[in-house]
């Protein structure tokens, strides 16, 4: 293998980012293998396969408590939390597999300790053309989650043509936490991003140029007056619908931009309230079963927060699959965070 540093992309550098803070200038490194790579013109929004990590140690991460308002304090010790989290995880995997989802389950490694390992979507994303992206993480504890052995295991089942590693941005204090930060519209090649200290403009810019996504940038604010830490807690995009907390975008122009982009791409917008988002209603993911039927995977808490009208509207597009995750949600993430979707092509 050889390491390639991609050149600067003038098209993206000239884009309208002047109003955003920019501190980092590191280029994402690419690790390239000898596999062939093809790009298809159109891609499915959802997939049948997901990557999931069974927690080895679980507790709310103290390094992320300050900016993750979805985390909860608990009096239970880490041993008790881990035991219950594993049971919830196992039941969730069983439920997904029963619904027809292909769940690739990996055991978390005992050392080093990684309290958020159950949320792999923040450090890895996979793409239809065979590329894999590895992302820079805000919490030092979370940087331990990136595992080369998992990438190598994916190679056994899928065609992995290229791995692009953006983790060097961490040295400059710049982060982009995977599909927590980026909510993709794969069909139309848009990446929706709510800015926060975990979603840095320079890394967004580099990723968007490398993977040919057009970024849709905005800021969403929680009830505590702080930026929401991840986009995927307030937004879920399916093939024909979008669940989104538009009222949490205070800037009228940005709010209208998001609404207009969703409408122009044919998404039925299901607006979520701040209270519904606080109950993880936005942290959902559209998947498919083995016959291509659409599934909307979310937690039971999230499903219970939806109105009857919202459930009815969503059910026109996908069958709701609720998962019982009350302990795992103490960590500040829910069903979407637990599932790193696999969009890789089959082996050649």
CA distance 331 to 118: 9
Q: Does the pLDDT at position 19 exceed 80?
A: no
Distance of CA 14 to the CA centre of its chain: 27
Q: What is the pTM of this model?
A: 0.86
Q: Write the pLDDT tens digit of every residue in 172-193.
A: 999 999 999 999 999 999 999 9
Place of tokens 């990438």: 151
Q: What is the mean pLDDT of residues 78-89?
A: 91
Summarised one tens digit per residue, pLDDT across range 111-167 is 998 999 999 999 999 999 999 999 999 999 999 999 999 999 999 999 999 999 999
* Residue 26: pLDDT band with limits 50, 70, 90: very low
The pair of three-digit structure tokens given for residue 76, joined into one six-digit string: 């239970």
Query: Which pLDDT belongs to residue 68?
Result: 57
pLDDT at 282 over 90: yes
Say if residues 106 and 153 touch (Cβ distance below 8 Å).
yes
pLDDT reading at 11 higher than 60: no
User: What would the mean pLDDT of 295-314 be, rounded to a whole number?
Assistant: 98
- The pLDDT-based confidence of 340 (bands split at 50, 70, 90) is very high
* Pair 94, 88: CB distance under 8 Å: no
Tell me if residue 14 falls in helix, strand or coil: coil
Q: What is the pLDDT of residue 43?
A: 75
Per-residue pLDDT at 25:
43
Which pLDDT does position 225 carry in this prediction?
Answer: 87
Looking at residue 64, its pLDDT comes to 60
Q: Residue 8 pLDDT more than 80?
A: no
Q: In 3D, which of 263, 342, 267, 270 has the Cα closest to residue 312?
A: 270
């Amino acid at each position: 293998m050889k390491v390639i540093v991609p050149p600067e992309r003038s098209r993206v550098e000239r884009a309208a980012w002047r109003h955003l803070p920019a501190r980092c200038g590191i280029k994402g490194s690419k690790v390239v293998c000898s596999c062939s790579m093809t790009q298809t013109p159109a891609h499915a929004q959802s997939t049948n396969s997901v990557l999931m990590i069974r927690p080895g140690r679980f507790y709310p991460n103290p390094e992320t408590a300050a900016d993750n308002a979805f985390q909860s304090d608990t009096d239970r010790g880490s041993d008790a939390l881990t035991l219950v989290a594993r049971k919830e995880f196992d039941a969730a995997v069983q439920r997904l597999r029963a619904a027809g989802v292909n769940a690739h389950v990996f055991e978390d490694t005992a050392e080093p300790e990684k309290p958020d390992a159950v949320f792999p979507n923040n450090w890895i994303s996979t793409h239809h053309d065979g590329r894999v992206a590895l992302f820079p993480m805000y919490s030092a504890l979370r940087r331990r989650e990136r595992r080369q052995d998992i990438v190598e295991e994916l190679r056994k089942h899928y065609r992995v043509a290229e791995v692009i590693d953006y983790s060097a941005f961490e040295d400059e204090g710049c982060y982009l936490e995977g599909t927590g930060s980026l909510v993709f519209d794969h069909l139309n090649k848009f990446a929706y991003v709510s800015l926060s200290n975990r979603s840095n403009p320079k890394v967004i810019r580099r990723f968007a140029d490398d993977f040919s996504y057009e970024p849709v940038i905005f800021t969403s604010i929680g009830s505590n007056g702080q930026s929401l830490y991840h986009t995927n807690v307030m937004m879920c995009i399916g093939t024909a619908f979008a669940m989104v907390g538009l009222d949490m975008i205070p800037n009228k122009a940005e709010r209208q931009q998001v609404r207009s982009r969703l409408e122009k791409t044919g998404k039925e917008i299901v607006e979520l309230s701040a209270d519904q988002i606080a109950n993880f209603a936005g942290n959902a993911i559209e998947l498919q079963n083995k016959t291509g039927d659409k599934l909307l995977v979310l937690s039971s808490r999230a499903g219970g927060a939806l109105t009857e009208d919202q459930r009815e509207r969503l059910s026109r597009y996908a069958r709701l699959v609720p998962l019982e995750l009350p302990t795992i949600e103490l960590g500040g993430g829910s069903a979407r965070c637990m599932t790193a979707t696999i969009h890789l092509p089959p082996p050649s």
